[in-house]
Amino acid sequence: MPEDRPQPRHLVSIDDLSLAEMQALFEAAKEFSEDLTAHADRCPGRIAASLFYEPSTRTRLSFESAMLRLGGGVITAADMSVSSASKGESLADTVRVVGGGYADVLVLRHPSEGAARLAAQYSPVPVINAGDGSHEHPTQTLCDLYSLWVERGRIEGLDVVLAGDLRYSRTIHSFAFALARFGANILCVPQGGFELPDYVMQRLREEFGVEPVRANASKMGDLAAQSDVIYMTPQKPHQLSLFTDAKGWNVSHVDAVYMTRPQTERYAEGEGQGTEYLQLGKSALAADSLRDAVVMHPLPRRDEISAEIDGDPRSIYFKQAARGVPIRMAILAALAGELPILDAPPAAGIPTYPVVEGGNPCPNPNCISNTETRHVGAQVALASRLPLRVQCAYCSQRLPVGVVGCRSSRRFHDPASPGLRPVRPEQMVFFVDAAAAERAGYAAASAAHPV
Protein backbone atom coordinates (compact mmCIF):
# COMPACT_ATOMS: atom_id res chain seq x y z
CA MET A 1 0.00 0.00 0.00
CA PRO A 2 1.46 3.45 -0.92
CA GLU A 3 2.70 5.27 2.15
CA ASP A 4 0.76 8.44 1.30
CA ARG A 5 -2.55 6.57 1.11
CA PRO A 6 -4.50 6.51 4.38
CA GLN A 7 -5.48 3.19 5.90
CA PRO A 8 -8.97 2.39 4.58
CA ARG A 9 -11.93 1.49 6.73
CA HIS A 10 -13.02 -2.11 6.29
CA LEU A 11 -16.18 -3.98 7.22
CA VAL A 12 -14.86 -7.40 8.16
CA SER A 13 -16.91 -7.89 11.32
CA ILE A 14 -19.96 -6.24 12.82
CA ASP A 15 -17.53 -5.21 15.57
CA ASP A 16 -15.89 -2.82 13.10
CA LEU A 17 -18.85 -0.45 13.57
CA SER A 18 -19.91 1.39 16.68
CA LEU A 19 -23.57 1.44 17.69
CA ALA A 20 -23.74 5.11 16.69
CA GLU A 21 -22.34 4.30 13.23
CA MET A 22 -24.86 1.49 12.78
CA GLN A 23 -27.69 3.79 13.75
CA ALA A 24 -26.41 6.37 11.25
CA LEU A 25 -26.37 3.69 8.53
CA PHE A 26 -29.99 2.83 9.35
CA GLU A 27 -31.01 6.48 9.01
CA ALA A 28 -29.18 6.78 5.68
CA ALA A 29 -30.72 3.55 4.39
CA LYS A 30 -34.19 4.80 5.31
CA GLU A 31 -33.54 7.98 3.33
CA PHE A 32 -32.24 6.00 0.35
CA SER A 33 -35.26 3.68 0.46
CA GLU A 34 -37.72 6.53 -0.03
CA ASP A 35 -36.58 6.76 -3.67
CA LEU A 36 -33.89 4.33 -4.78
CA THR A 37 -33.53 6.10 -8.14
CA ALA A 38 -32.67 9.53 -6.71
CA HIS A 39 -29.07 8.95 -5.59
CA ALA A 40 -27.09 8.34 -8.79
CA ASP A 41 -24.94 11.39 -8.04
CA ARG A 42 -23.58 9.92 -4.81
CA CYS A 43 -20.72 7.72 -6.10
CA PRO A 44 -20.12 8.52 -9.80
CA GLY A 45 -16.94 6.98 -11.14
CA ARG A 46 -16.57 4.58 -8.19
CA ILE A 47 -16.22 0.87 -8.93
CA ALA A 48 -17.04 -2.07 -6.68
CA ALA A 49 -15.49 -5.49 -7.37
CA SER A 50 -17.45 -8.62 -6.45
CA LEU A 51 -15.03 -11.40 -5.54
CA PHE A 52 -17.18 -14.43 -4.81
CA TYR A 53 -15.44 -17.72 -4.08
CA GLU A 54 -18.83 -19.18 -3.07
CA PRO A 55 -22.19 -19.04 -4.86
CA SER A 56 -24.47 -16.14 -4.02
CA THR A 57 -27.56 -14.54 -5.46
CA ARG A 58 -29.05 -12.01 -3.06
CA THR A 59 -25.84 -10.71 -1.51
CA ARG A 60 -23.98 -10.26 -4.78
CA LEU A 61 -26.90 -8.81 -6.72
CA SER A 62 -27.95 -6.47 -3.91
CA PHE A 63 -24.39 -5.09 -3.65
CA GLU A 64 -24.17 -4.61 -7.40
CA SER A 65 -27.60 -3.02 -7.52
CA ALA A 66 -26.62 -0.75 -4.63
CA MET A 67 -23.47 0.53 -6.36
CA LEU A 68 -25.27 1.04 -9.66
CA ARG A 69 -28.04 3.00 -7.90
CA LEU A 70 -25.34 5.20 -6.34
CA GLY A 71 -24.09 6.03 -9.83
CA GLY A 72 -21.01 3.80 -9.67
CA GLY A 73 -20.01 0.73 -11.61
CA VAL A 74 -19.33 -2.93 -10.84
CA ILE A 75 -16.92 -5.59 -12.00
CA THR A 76 -17.77 -9.15 -11.12
CA ALA A 77 -15.91 -12.38 -10.53
CA ALA A 78 -18.94 -14.38 -9.47
CA ASP A 79 -17.23 -17.75 -9.84
CA MET A 80 -13.63 -17.59 -8.67
CA SER A 81 -13.15 -21.26 -9.57
CA VAL A 82 -12.61 -20.13 -13.17
CA SER A 83 -10.45 -17.12 -12.23
CA SER A 84 -6.76 -16.89 -11.44
CA ALA A 85 -7.54 -18.59 -8.14
CA SER A 86 -7.91 -21.80 -10.14
CA LYS A 87 -4.30 -21.27 -11.27
CA GLY A 88 -3.13 -21.07 -7.68
CA GLU A 89 -3.15 -17.31 -7.08
CA SER A 90 -3.35 -16.48 -3.39
CA LEU A 91 -6.15 -14.40 -1.93
CA ALA A 92 -3.57 -11.84 -0.78
CA ASP A 93 -2.30 -11.36 -4.34
CA THR A 94 -5.82 -11.19 -5.76
CA VAL A 95 -6.92 -8.36 -3.48
CA ARG A 96 -3.68 -6.45 -4.08
CA VAL A 97 -4.21 -6.64 -7.82
CA VAL A 98 -7.94 -5.85 -7.88
CA GLY A 99 -7.65 -3.18 -5.21
CA GLY A 100 -4.54 -1.72 -6.81
CA GLY A 101 -6.41 -0.01 -9.63
CA TYR A 102 -9.34 -2.10 -10.81
CA ALA A 103 -11.80 -1.13 -8.07
CA ASP A 104 -12.41 1.29 -5.20
CA VAL A 105 -14.01 -1.26 -2.87
CA LEU A 106 -13.89 -5.07 -2.71
CA VAL A 107 -16.90 -7.21 -1.77
CA LEU A 108 -15.58 -10.63 -0.79
CA ARG A 109 -17.28 -13.94 -0.14
CA HIS A 110 -15.05 -16.88 0.72
CA PRO A 111 -15.55 -20.39 2.14
CA SER A 112 -12.70 -20.08 4.68
CA GLU A 113 -13.25 -18.47 8.07
CA GLY A 114 -11.11 -15.37 8.48
CA ALA A 115 -10.62 -14.79 4.74
CA ALA A 116 -11.97 -11.24 4.91
CA ARG A 117 -9.59 -10.42 7.78
CA LEU A 118 -6.68 -11.63 5.67
CA ALA A 119 -7.89 -9.66 2.64
CA ALA A 120 -8.13 -6.48 4.71
CA GLN A 121 -4.47 -6.86 5.72
CA TYR A 122 -3.39 -6.64 2.07
CA SER A 123 -6.01 -4.54 0.31
CA PRO A 124 -5.31 -0.87 -0.43
CA VAL A 125 -9.07 -0.21 -0.66
CA PRO A 126 -11.98 -1.04 1.67
CA VAL A 127 -12.90 -4.72 2.00
CA ILE A 128 -16.49 -5.71 2.77
CA ASN A 129 -17.03 -9.18 4.18
CA ALA A 130 -19.92 -10.76 2.30
CA GLY A 131 -19.56 -13.99 4.28
CA ASP A 132 -16.48 -15.97 5.34
CA GLY A 133 -17.19 -19.65 5.91
CA SER A 134 -19.36 -20.14 8.97
CA HIS A 135 -17.74 -17.18 10.72
CA GLU A 136 -19.48 -13.84 10.05
CA HIS A 137 -21.71 -12.04 7.56
CA PRO A 138 -21.82 -8.45 8.83
CA THR A 139 -23.76 -6.84 5.99
CA GLN A 140 -26.54 -9.41 6.32
CA THR A 141 -26.55 -8.60 10.03
CA LEU A 142 -26.91 -4.90 9.26
CA CYS A 143 -29.79 -5.71 6.91
CA ASP A 144 -31.45 -7.81 9.63
CA LEU A 145 -30.97 -5.15 12.30
CA TYR A 146 -32.26 -2.50 9.94
CA SER A 147 -35.39 -4.55 9.19
CA LEU A 148 -35.98 -5.09 12.90
CA TRP A 149 -35.52 -1.36 13.54
CA VAL A 150 -37.92 -0.42 10.73
CA GLU A 151 -40.58 -2.89 11.87
CA ARG A 152 -40.33 -2.32 15.62
CA GLY A 153 -38.90 1.19 15.91
CA ARG A 154 -36.15 0.00 18.23
CA ILE A 155 -33.86 -2.96 18.95
CA GLU A 156 -33.10 -2.55 22.64
CA GLY A 157 -35.24 -4.74 24.87
CA LEU A 158 -36.79 -6.79 22.04
CA ASP A 159 -37.18 -10.57 22.48
CA VAL A 160 -35.78 -12.24 19.35
CA VAL A 161 -35.90 -15.98 18.61
CA LEU A 162 -32.98 -17.51 16.69
CA ALA A 163 -34.18 -20.83 15.27
CA GLY A 164 -32.72 -23.67 13.21
CA ASP A 165 -29.07 -24.34 12.45
CA LEU A 166 -27.33 -22.06 14.93
CA ARG A 167 -24.02 -23.90 14.70
CA TYR A 168 -22.98 -23.26 11.11
CA SER A 169 -24.97 -20.13 10.24
CA ARG A 170 -22.53 -17.20 10.04
CA THR A 171 -25.54 -14.90 9.84
CA ILE A 172 -26.74 -16.13 13.22
CA HIS A 173 -23.33 -15.59 14.84
CA SER A 174 -23.02 -11.99 13.69
CA PHE A 175 -26.67 -11.32 14.52
CA ALA A 176 -26.36 -12.72 18.05
CA PHE A 177 -23.39 -10.48 18.86
CA ALA A 178 -25.12 -7.43 17.42
CA LEU A 179 -28.37 -8.10 19.28
CA ALA A 180 -26.44 -8.35 22.53
CA ARG A 181 -24.64 -5.08 21.81
CA PHE A 182 -27.97 -3.32 21.19
CA GLY A 183 -29.42 -4.77 24.39
CA ALA A 184 -31.94 -7.18 22.85
CA ASN A 185 -32.84 -10.50 24.47
CA ILE A 186 -32.07 -13.73 22.63
CA LEU A 187 -34.08 -16.95 22.62
CA CYS A 188 -32.21 -19.88 21.07
CA VAL A 189 -34.38 -22.59 19.51
CA PRO A 190 -31.76 -24.80 17.84
CA GLN A 191 -32.18 -27.78 15.64
CA GLY A 192 -31.05 -30.72 17.77
CA GLY A 193 -27.26 -31.00 17.64
CA PHE A 194 -26.83 -27.59 15.99
CA GLU A 195 -26.65 -25.28 19.00
CA LEU A 196 -24.57 -22.09 19.08
CA PRO A 197 -20.83 -22.91 19.03
CA ASP A 198 -18.92 -22.71 22.29
CA TYR A 199 -16.83 -19.74 21.15
CA VAL A 200 -19.98 -17.74 20.40
CA MET A 201 -21.48 -18.59 23.80
CA GLN A 202 -18.22 -17.76 25.54
CA ARG A 203 -18.02 -14.35 23.93
CA LEU A 204 -21.64 -13.58 24.79
CA ARG A 205 -20.85 -14.43 28.41
CA GLU A 206 -17.56 -12.59 28.72
CA GLU A 207 -18.28 -9.46 26.69
CA PHE A 208 -21.99 -8.93 27.27
CA GLY A 209 -22.55 -10.61 30.63
CA VAL A 210 -25.28 -12.94 29.39
CA GLU A 211 -25.90 -16.17 31.25
CA PRO A 212 -27.96 -18.74 29.34
CA VAL A 213 -30.86 -20.26 31.27
CA ARG A 214 -33.37 -22.90 30.31
CA ALA A 215 -36.66 -21.46 29.07
CA ASN A 216 -40.23 -22.62 29.58
CA ALA A 217 -41.39 -22.51 25.96
CA SER A 218 -44.87 -23.99 26.47
CA LYS A 219 -46.42 -20.85 24.90
CA MET A 220 -44.23 -21.16 21.79
CA GLY A 221 -46.22 -24.11 20.46
CA ASP A 222 -44.92 -26.29 17.62
CA LEU A 223 -41.81 -24.19 16.99
CA ALA A 224 -40.19 -25.23 20.27
CA ALA A 225 -41.79 -28.64 20.69
CA GLN A 226 -38.64 -30.57 19.72
CA SER A 227 -35.99 -28.18 21.04
CA ASP A 228 -34.37 -27.22 24.33
CA VAL A 229 -34.94 -23.47 24.41
CA ILE A 230 -32.31 -21.18 25.96
CA TYR A 231 -32.95 -17.60 27.06
CA MET A 232 -30.16 -15.01 27.19
CA THR A 233 -30.34 -11.34 28.12
CA PRO A 234 -27.65 -8.66 28.43
CA GLN A 235 -30.12 -6.59 30.47
CA LYS A 236 -30.13 -8.19 33.90
CA PRO A 237 -28.27 -11.48 33.75
CA HIS A 238 -27.76 -11.83 37.48
CA GLN A 239 -31.48 -11.56 38.20
CA LEU A 240 -32.65 -14.38 35.95
CA SER A 241 -32.44 -17.02 38.65
CA LEU A 242 -34.70 -14.92 40.88
CA PHE A 243 -37.58 -15.12 38.43
CA THR A 244 -37.37 -18.57 36.89
CA ASP A 245 -39.51 -21.40 38.15
CA ALA A 246 -38.68 -25.09 37.98
CA LYS A 247 -39.57 -25.16 34.26
CA GLY A 248 -37.29 -22.26 33.40
CA TRP A 249 -37.69 -18.68 32.25
CA ASN A 250 -41.30 -18.15 31.11
CA VAL A 251 -41.59 -17.07 27.48
CA SER A 252 -44.80 -15.10 27.13
CA HIS A 253 -44.09 -12.74 24.23
CA VAL A 254 -41.77 -12.76 21.22
CA ASP A 255 -41.07 -9.76 18.97
CA ALA A 256 -39.35 -11.57 16.11
CA VAL A 257 -38.55 -15.09 14.92
CA TYR A 258 -35.37 -15.39 12.85
CA MET A 259 -35.43 -18.72 11.04
CA THR A 260 -32.42 -20.26 9.28
CA ARG A 261 -32.01 -23.11 6.82
CA PRO A 262 -29.78 -26.14 7.42
CA GLN A 263 -26.28 -25.12 6.28
CA THR A 264 -25.73 -28.51 4.66
CA GLU A 265 -22.81 -27.28 2.55
CA ARG A 266 -20.81 -27.06 5.80
CA TYR A 267 -21.91 -30.37 7.31
CA ALA A 268 -19.58 -33.29 7.81
CA GLU A 269 -20.53 -36.53 6.06
CA GLY A 270 -23.68 -37.96 7.63
CA GLU A 271 -24.26 -34.93 9.84
CA GLY A 272 -27.90 -33.93 10.26
CA GLN A 273 -29.28 -37.03 8.59
CA GLY A 274 -32.24 -38.93 9.97
CA THR A 275 -33.79 -35.98 11.80
CA GLU A 276 -36.69 -33.78 10.81
CA TYR A 277 -35.75 -30.12 10.55
CA LEU A 278 -37.67 -27.38 12.35
CA GLN A 279 -40.51 -25.84 10.38
CA LEU A 280 -42.48 -22.65 10.84
CA GLY A 281 -46.02 -22.77 9.50
CA LYS A 282 -49.52 -21.57 10.32
CA SER A 283 -49.92 -23.79 13.34
CA ALA A 284 -46.64 -22.61 14.86
CA LEU A 285 -47.50 -18.96 14.28
CA ALA A 286 -50.79 -19.48 16.11
CA ALA A 287 -48.90 -19.99 19.39
CA ASP A 288 -49.72 -17.46 22.09
CA SER A 289 -46.27 -15.93 22.34
CA LEU A 290 -45.86 -15.54 18.55
CA ARG A 291 -49.07 -13.73 17.72
CA ASP A 292 -47.29 -10.39 17.26
CA ALA A 293 -43.88 -11.72 16.13
CA VAL A 294 -42.48 -10.76 12.75
CA VAL A 295 -40.94 -13.67 10.84
CA MET A 296 -37.48 -13.14 9.38
CA HIS A 297 -35.17 -15.28 7.23
CA PRO A 298 -31.91 -14.39 5.43
CA LEU A 299 -32.94 -16.55 2.41
CA PRO A 300 -32.64 -18.77 0.52
CA ARG A 301 -35.09 -21.06 2.29
CA ARG A 302 -35.92 -24.69 1.87
CA ASP A 303 -38.80 -26.17 3.86
CA GLU A 304 -38.10 -24.50 7.21
CA ILE A 305 -40.68 -21.79 6.45
CA SER A 306 -43.90 -23.00 4.86
CA ALA A 307 -45.09 -21.12 1.78
CA GLU A 308 -48.52 -21.01 3.44
CA ILE A 309 -47.40 -18.09 5.59
CA ASP A 310 -45.90 -16.00 2.75
CA GLY A 311 -49.05 -13.89 2.72
CA ASP A 312 -49.15 -13.45 6.49
CA PRO A 313 -48.46 -9.78 7.35
CA ARG A 314 -46.04 -10.97 10.02
CA SER A 315 -43.80 -12.57 7.37
CA ILE A 316 -41.27 -9.91 6.34
CA TYR A 317 -38.49 -12.00 4.76
CA PHE A 318 -39.09 -10.68 1.25
CA LYS A 319 -39.14 -7.11 2.58
CA GLN A 320 -35.98 -8.01 4.47
CA ALA A 321 -34.28 -9.07 1.22
CA ALA A 322 -35.39 -5.88 -0.55
CA ARG A 323 -33.97 -3.79 2.29
CA GLY A 324 -30.57 -5.24 1.52
CA VAL A 325 -30.24 -2.69 -1.31
CA PRO A 326 -30.66 0.58 0.66
CA ILE A 327 -28.57 -0.65 3.62
CA ARG A 328 -25.79 -1.72 1.24
CA MET A 329 -26.07 1.61 -0.54
CA ALA A 330 -25.37 3.23 2.82
CA ILE A 331 -22.44 0.88 3.50
CA LEU A 332 -20.84 1.48 0.10
CA ALA A 333 -21.31 5.24 0.20
CA ALA A 334 -19.89 5.41 3.72
CA LEU A 335 -16.80 3.31 2.96
CA ALA A 336 -16.24 5.27 -0.26
CA GLY A 337 -16.13 8.44 1.81
CA GLU A 338 -19.24 9.87 0.19
CA LEU A 339 -21.40 9.57 3.32
CA PRO A 340 -19.75 11.30 6.30
CA ILE A 341 -20.73 8.90 9.06
CA LEU A 342 -17.53 6.88 9.43
CA ASP A 343 -15.15 9.77 10.04
CA ALA A 344 -13.89 8.46 13.37
CA PRO A 345 -11.03 5.96 13.14
CA PRO A 346 -12.09 2.34 13.64
CA ALA A 347 -11.91 0.83 17.09
CA ALA A 348 -8.55 -0.74 17.87
CA GLY A 349 -10.16 -4.14 18.42
CA ILE A 350 -8.47 -7.12 20.04
CA PRO A 351 -4.66 -6.91 19.87
CA THR A 352 -3.12 -9.55 17.61
CA TYR A 353 0.34 -11.06 17.63
CA PRO A 354 2.17 -13.22 15.10
CA VAL A 355 3.00 -16.78 16.04
CA VAL A 356 6.76 -17.07 15.72
CA GLU A 357 7.38 -20.40 17.43
CA GLY A 358 5.63 -23.74 17.20
CA GLY A 359 3.65 -23.36 13.98
CA ASN A 360 -0.02 -22.56 13.54
CA PRO A 361 -1.99 -23.28 16.74
CA CYS A 362 -5.44 -22.86 15.17
CA PRO A 363 -7.34 -26.19 15.32
CA ASN A 364 -9.97 -25.10 12.79
CA PRO A 365 -9.25 -26.88 9.47
CA ASN A 366 -11.42 -24.34 7.61
CA CYS A 367 -9.56 -21.30 8.96
CA ILE A 368 -7.85 -19.23 6.26
CA SER A 369 -4.59 -19.68 8.19
CA ASN A 370 -4.85 -23.41 7.40
CA THR A 371 -6.42 -23.31 3.92
CA GLU A 372 -4.29 -20.53 2.40
CA THR A 373 -0.78 -21.87 2.00
CA ARG A 374 0.96 -18.61 1.06
CA HIS A 375 1.05 -15.06 2.40
CA VAL A 376 -0.63 -16.03 5.66
CA GLY A 377 1.19 -15.92 8.97
CA ALA A 378 -0.62 -17.50 11.88
CA GLN A 379 -1.79 -14.85 14.34
CA VAL A 380 -3.29 -15.07 17.80
CA ALA A 381 -5.51 -12.55 19.54
CA LEU A 382 -5.41 -11.99 23.26
CA ALA A 383 -9.13 -11.65 23.95
CA SER A 384 -8.81 -11.48 27.72
CA ARG A 385 -6.00 -11.47 30.29
CA LEU A 386 -8.03 -12.24 33.40
CA PRO A 387 -9.05 -14.92 32.80
CA LEU A 388 -6.57 -15.60 30.02
CA ARG A 389 -8.38 -16.28 26.75
CA VAL A 390 -6.54 -16.62 23.47
CA GLN A 391 -8.19 -17.01 20.07
CA CYS A 392 -7.24 -17.25 16.43
CA ALA A 393 -7.06 -13.72 15.03
CA TYR A 394 -8.71 -14.90 11.82
CA CYS A 395 -11.53 -17.30 12.69
CA SER A 396 -12.04 -16.49 16.42
CA GLN A 397 -11.72 -20.10 17.49
CA ARG A 398 -10.45 -20.42 21.04
CA LEU A 399 -6.91 -21.79 21.16
CA PRO A 400 -5.73 -24.36 23.69
CA VAL A 401 -3.13 -22.80 25.99
CA GLY A 402 -1.30 -24.96 28.53
CA VAL A 403 1.49 -22.56 29.47
CA VAL A 404 2.54 -19.04 28.49
CA GLY A 405 6.15 -18.14 27.81
CA CYS A 406 7.96 -14.81 28.07
CA ARG A 407 10.22 -14.12 25.09
CA SER A 408 12.66 -11.93 27.00
CA SER A 409 13.20 -14.24 30.00
CA ARG A 410 12.64 -17.52 28.10
CA ARG A 411 10.55 -18.80 31.03
CA PHE A 412 7.00 -20.12 31.01
CA HIS A 413 4.07 -19.85 33.41
CA ASP A 414 0.73 -21.45 34.10
CA PRO A 415 -1.98 -19.22 32.52
CA ALA A 416 -3.45 -18.49 35.98
CA SER A 417 -0.10 -17.78 37.64
CA PRO A 418 0.38 -14.36 39.29
CA GLY A 419 3.88 -14.43 37.83
CA LEU A 420 2.40 -13.90 34.38
CA ARG A 421 0.89 -10.52 35.25
CA PRO A 422 4.06 -8.43 34.67
CA VAL A 423 4.59 -9.98 31.22
CA ARG A 424 3.55 -7.61 28.45
CA PRO A 425 1.29 -9.17 25.79
CA GLU A 426 3.82 -8.59 23.02
CA GLN A 427 6.32 -10.68 25.01
CA MET A 428 3.96 -13.65 25.33
CA VAL A 429 4.33 -16.96 23.54
CA PHE A 430 1.53 -19.51 23.85
CA PHE A 431 2.14 -23.26 24.12
CA VAL A 432 -0.23 -26.21 24.33
CA ASP A 433 1.73 -27.69 27.24
CA ALA A 434 4.99 -27.46 29.22
CA ALA A 435 6.70 -30.05 27.02
CA ALA A 436 6.16 -27.87 23.94
CA ALA A 437 7.61 -24.88 25.78
CA GLU A 438 10.65 -26.87 26.85
CA ARG A 439 11.21 -28.08 23.30
CA ALA A 440 11.27 -24.42 22.23
CA GLY A 441 13.96 -23.65 24.78
CA TYR A 442 11.84 -22.25 27.61
CA ALA A 443 12.25 -23.18 31.28
CA ALA A 444 9.62 -23.23 34.00
CA ALA A 445 9.44 -20.03 36.04
CA SER A 446 10.41 -20.43 39.67
CA ALA A 447 10.19 -18.32 42.80
CA ALA A 448 13.80 -17.30 42.21
CA HIS A 449 13.14 -16.46 38.54
CA PRO A 450 9.41 -15.58 38.34
CA VAL A 451 9.62 -13.70 35.04
44-91 confidence digits (pLDDT tens): 999 999 999 988 888 999 999 999 999 999 999 866 655 555 557 889
Establish how many alpha carbons lie within 13 A of residue 304's alpha carbon, considering only the half-sphere containing its beta carbon: 25
Q: How many CB atoms lie within 10 A of CB 21?
A: 17
Instruction: Specify whether 288 is located in the same domain as 165.
Output: yes
Per-residue model confidence as pLDDT tens digits over 169-202: 888 988 999 999 999 999 999 988 889 988 888 8
Residue 306 within any structural domain of the chain? yes
Instruction: Specify whether 331 is located in the same domain as 360.
Output: no
**pLDDT of res. 89:** 83
Q: How confident is the model at residue 448 (pLDDT cuts 50, 70, 90)?
A: very low
Q: One of 9, 39, 59, 181 is an active-site residue; which one?
A: 59
Residue 129 has pLDDT above 90, yes or no: yes
- Kindly give the interhelix angle for 170-182 and 19-33, rounded to the nearest 10 degrees: 110
Instruction: Specify whether 158 is located in the same domain as 281.
Output: yes
Residue 33 within any structural domain of the chain? yes
Catalytic-residue membership of 109:
yes
Instruction: Specify whether 274 is located in the same domain as 246.
Output: yes
Of 185, 178, 169, 175, the closest CA to residue 255 belongs to 185
Residue 166 within any structural domain of the chain? yes
Per-residue model confidence as pLDDT tens digits over 295-337: 999 888 888 999 999 999 999 999 999 999 999 999 999 999 9
Q: One of 5, 37, 87, 238 is an active-site residue; which one?
A: 87
CATH number at residue 394: 2.30.30.20
Taking the C-alpha atoms of residue 105 and residue 418, their distance in angstroms, rounded to an integer, is 46
Residue 8 within any structural domain of the chain? no
Structurally, the chain folds into a number of domains equal to 3
Catalytic-residue membership of 137:
yes
Taking the C-alpha atoms of residue 250 and residue 243, their distance in angstroms, rounded to an integer, is 9
Q: One of 30, 58, 314, 410 is an active-site residue; which one?
A: 58
Instruction: Specify whether 92 is located in the same domain as 217.
Output: no
Instruction: Specify whether 286 is located in the same domain as 302.
Output: yes
Is the Cβ–Cβ distance between 294 and 309 less than 8 Å? no
Which of 275, 303, 335 is the endpoint of a domain? 335
Instruction: Specify whether 146 is located in the same domain as 294.
Output: yes
Catalytic-residue membership of 203:
no
Residue 340 within any structural domain of the chain? no
Instruction: Specify whether 84 is located in the same domain as 145.
Output: no
CATH number at residue 175: 3.40.50.1370
Of 109, 102, 99, the closest CA to residue 73 belongs to 102
DSSP 312: S
Q: One of 9, 10, 42, 109 is an active-site residue; which one?
A: 109
Instruction: Specify whether 33 is located in the same domain as 86.
Output: yes
> Whole-model pTM?
0.85
Residue 154 within any structural domain of the chain? yes
Instruction: Specify whether 71 is located in the same domain as 43.
Output: yes
Q: Identify the domain containing residue 92 by its residue range.
A: 14-137+324-335
Instruction: Specify whether 298 is located in the same domain as 178.
Output: yes
Residue 342 within any structural domain of the chain? no
Residue 200 within any structural domain of the chain? yes
Instruction: Specify whether 133 is located in the same domain as 143.
Output: no
Q: One of 137, 181, 261, 398 is an active-site residue; which one?
A: 137
